[in-house]
Every structure is written in structure tokens, then in C-alpha cells.
């Protein structure tokens, strides 16, 4: 990267820039959703686009998720490339039929005779006291239903490349950004998510996990904001002589299974750190992957999973901090995997 082409951007700025560049490149790309125009999205994912493209391509909608997601599906079927923002992923319940029975299935139901090149974008995650109906992740919920690609970036560089790829896809993509790493001035966020981003458009292919930190002693498989927490945990572990390898999945569908297997074959230990619910989710899928490949993976310790227990996300800050895995919990779980005493102050 040169200084002329790479600047430090927040994740919100990177997503907005990706959309801007694709709208400039392709007149069929447009954005619709609640508050995406006048306010630039409440998490700033569409900031500045209304002034450049006008209300015909950046469209505020009524609070009717079924209507505007259904409209996006219809536009995609006709060859346009809509980006529909579902303000909070938690709201998918009111438009579940449009997502699961139309967006995900219509290409299949039509025998491949129609394509749905659309992006459903939504905010995920807790950590800022927004309670049970505004703080979930739910990427495993979408991944469980065939027909949609599921993308979950952890930093600005990846967010731009993955969003560009999502818009160019000929299949429906669910693009989920964590509020706690968007770089918003009105809420705390992890600085590691703000990084150098080239000005030129680029794509990051789906299904290619990233080894964000190499290590020899254990593998931490994670995504989204948990990548930032895992990197901080890995630094603390390194001070105690434990070298953790951190794998950022980037996409849940497609899932880079080989990257996980390759790392665990090297380290012999696996911790899955996940902000989604524990049961029936991503952490179980990764654990099953290892179990199904024990003929080539030689474990030194049982697989450990660290995720949100099967309870709604609490409003109370101490309770919320307790149920969502924190850096200290990642450190403690890693210590137990290594069979050594926990670092002082660590707990899971």
C-alpha cells in the first residue's frame, strides 16, 4: 500500500466507501432502508451517499421491513443490485418470510432461471446496554438456512473488500457489521478495527479465512468483534509464554474449514470464541468439524467453546458483560486448554 492509496478508515467509512464506489461503477446498485438516506444509517454505513446519488438511489423507507426487503428481492430478480439495510439484525423476525422463503430460495425454486444479486445489510452485537431485542448476532441463524452467503467482517480493510465482493455477487448475501467495531464517535469501540484501507476498489473472496496472528500452542477461531478481543487476549497470553494463533473466519457461509483444520493440526488445541449463542450455532459447527477429522487432527486437549449462554442479552451492564465473552474469559479458557494456572484476574 502506498500513502496515496491507503488511509486509516473506520469500518463505517470503509463500508460506505465500498458502496459509493460500486454505485459509481454500476448504475443498477442502489440502497434502501430505514434512515439510510437523511441520516446515513444510524451506524453510518451509508454516510454521505444521499448528497452524491440523490433520493432515487439512496431511499429512506417506512418502518416496514417485509415491504422494503420484498421490494429489494423483486428488484434483484429484475437485474438490479439492491442493498437493503435491516437496521438491527434482531428485527429479522418481522420479515422472516421474505428472507427465508424468498431471498434464500427463489433462485432454487425457479430452477436457476433467476438470480438475486442483492445484499441484506444489518447491525449485530451487544456490549452497549441495548438489551435483548437490539444486541444479538444471529449469523448462525442465517447460515443454517441454505441459499444465502453470510459475511461478518472484523475490521475496516476486510469490510470494504467483503462489501465490494458482496455487491458484485449474483447470489443473496447477508452482510453483518458489529456496532462495537464501526468506529462510531458516540460509542466505545475497539481501535484495532480501524486500519489502513486502499482508496482503489478491491475484493476479498468469500470463504477465505485470515490468520491474523500466528501461534504454535493453541488456535482461537473467531470472527467480528471477537477477533479484536482475541488479539488482545493473545497478547496477554504471550506475556505468559503461550502463543495463540487467531483465525478470523470473515465469512460463515462459505466457511473456510480447511483453514481451521490446518491451524488445529499445527497447534493441537482449539478454542472457539463466539458472540452468538452457544447451543446449535457456529461454535458447535467448528467443534463438529474437528470431531469429524480426528483421523488427521491430533488433539492435545478437548475442544473448548466460549459463547453467549442460552439466555437473552441482559440490559444490565454487569450482566451483559458477564454473558458476552470478554478478553478475560478468552484468556482463562486458553489457560485451561493449556493445562496451566489462570493468569491473575482472569475468569470465564
pLDDT in tens, 2-42: 445 679 999 999 999 999 999 999 999 999 999 999 999 99
Q: What are phi and psi of 83, to 5 degrees?
A: -120, 115
What pairs with residue 85 in β-bridges? 33, 121
Give catalytic status of residue 134 as yes or no. yes
1 pLDDT exceeds 60?
no
> Per the structure block, which three cell numbers stand in for 125?
452485537
Distance CA 15, CA 162 (A): 9
Q: What does DSSP say about strands 218-222 and 149-151: parallel, antiparallel, or unpaired?
A: unpaired
Q: Which of 226, 231, 235, 300 is nearest to 270 (CA)?
A: 300
Determine the Cα angle at 47 with ends 45 and 51, to 5°. Answer: 145
Q: If DSSP states are collapsed to H, E and C, what string results for 150-195?
A: EECCCCHHHHHHHHHHHHHCCCCEEEEEEHHHCCCCCCCCCHHHCE
> Per the structure block, which three cell numbers stand in for 25?
461503477
Determine the Cα angle at 337 with ends 335 and 338, to 5°. Answer: 65
pLDDT in tens, 293-309: 999 999 999 999 999 99
Give the pLDDT score at 335.
97
Q: Which of 219, 85, 249 is nearest to 153 (CA)?
A: 249
Q: Which of 41, 75, 77, 88 is nearest to 60 (CA)?
A: 41
pLDDT band at 340 (very low <50, low <70, confident <90, very high): confident
Determine the Cα angle at 13 with ends 12 and 16, to 5°. Answer: 85
Distance CA 191, CA 208 (A): 23
Rounded to the nearest integer, the mean pLDDT of the chain is 95
Contact 188, 222 (CB under 8 A): no
Distance CA 145, CA 141 (A): 7
345 pLDDT exceeds 90?
no
pLDDT in tens, 243-289: 999 999 999 999 999 999 999 999 999 999 999 999 999 999 999 99
What does DSSP assign to residue 235? H
Given the residues 102, 134, 144, 178, the one annotated as active site: 134
Distance CA 306, CA 296 (A): 24
Q: Which of 170, 157, 181, 48 is nearest to 119 (CA)?
A: 170
Give the pLDDT score at 342.
62
Asked if the peptide bond before residue 63 counts as cis, ω within 30 degrees of 0, the response is no
Amino acid at each position: 500500500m502506498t500513502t496515496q492509496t491507503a488511509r486509516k478508515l473506520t469500518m463505517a467509512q470503509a463500508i460506505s466507501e465500498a458502496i459509493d464506489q460500486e454505485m459509481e461503477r454500476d448504475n443498477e446498485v442502489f440502497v434502501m432502508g430505514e434512515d439510510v438516506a437523511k441520516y446515513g444509517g444510524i451506524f453510518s454505513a451509508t454516510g454521505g451517499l444521499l448528497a452524491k446519488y440523490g433520493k432515487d438511489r439512496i431511499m429512506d423507507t417506512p418502518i416496514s421491513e417485509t415491504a422494503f426487503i420484498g421490494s429489494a428481492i423483486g428488484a434483484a430478480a429484475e437485474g438490479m443490485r439492491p442493498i437493503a439495510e435491516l437496521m438491527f439484525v434482531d428485527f429479522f423476525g418481522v420479515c422472516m418470510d421474505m428472507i427465508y422463503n424468498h431471498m434464500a430460495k427463489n433462485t432454487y425454486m425457479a430452477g436457476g432461471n433467476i438470480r438475486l444479486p442483492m445484499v441484506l445489510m444489518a447491525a449485530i452485537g451487544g456490549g452497549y446496554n441495548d438489551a435483548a431485542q437490539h444486541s444479538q448476532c444471529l449469523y448462525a441463524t442465517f447460515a443454517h438456512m441454505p441459499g444465502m452467503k453470510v459475511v461478518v467482517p472484523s475490521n475496516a480493510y476486510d469490510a470494504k473488500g467483503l462489501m465490494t465482493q458482496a455487491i458484485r455477487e449474483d447470489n443473496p448475501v447477508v452482510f453483518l457489521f458489529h456496532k462495537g467495531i464501526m468506529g462510531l464517535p458516540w460509542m466505545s469501540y475497539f481501535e484495532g478495527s480501524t486500519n489502513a484501507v486502499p482508496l482503489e476498489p478491491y475484493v476479498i473472496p468469500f470463504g477465505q479465512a485470515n490468520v491474523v496472528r500466528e501461534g504454535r500452542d493453541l488456535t482461537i477461531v473467531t470472527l467480528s468483534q471477537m477477533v479484536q478481543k482475541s488479539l488482545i487476549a493473545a497478547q496477554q497470553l504471550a506475556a505468559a509464554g503461550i502463543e495463540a494463533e487467531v483465525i478470523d473466519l470473515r465469512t460463515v457461509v462459505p466457511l473456510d474449514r480447511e483453514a481451521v483444520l490446518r491451524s488445529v493440526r499445527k497447534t493441537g488445541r482449539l478454542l472457539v470464541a463466539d458472540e452468538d449463542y452457544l447451543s446449535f450455532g457456529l461454535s458447535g459447527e467448528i467443534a463438529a468439524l474437528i470431531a469429524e477429522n480426528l483421523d488427521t487432527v491430533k488433539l492435545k486437549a478437548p475442544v473448548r467453546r466460549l459463547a453467549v449462554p442460552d439466555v437473552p442479552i441482559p440490559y444490565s451492564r454487569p450482566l451483559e458483560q458477564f454473558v458476552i465473552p470478554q478478553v478475560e474469559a478468552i484468556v482463562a479458557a486458553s489457560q485451561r486448554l493449556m493445562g496451566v494456572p489462570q493468569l491473575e484476574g482472569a475468569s470465564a
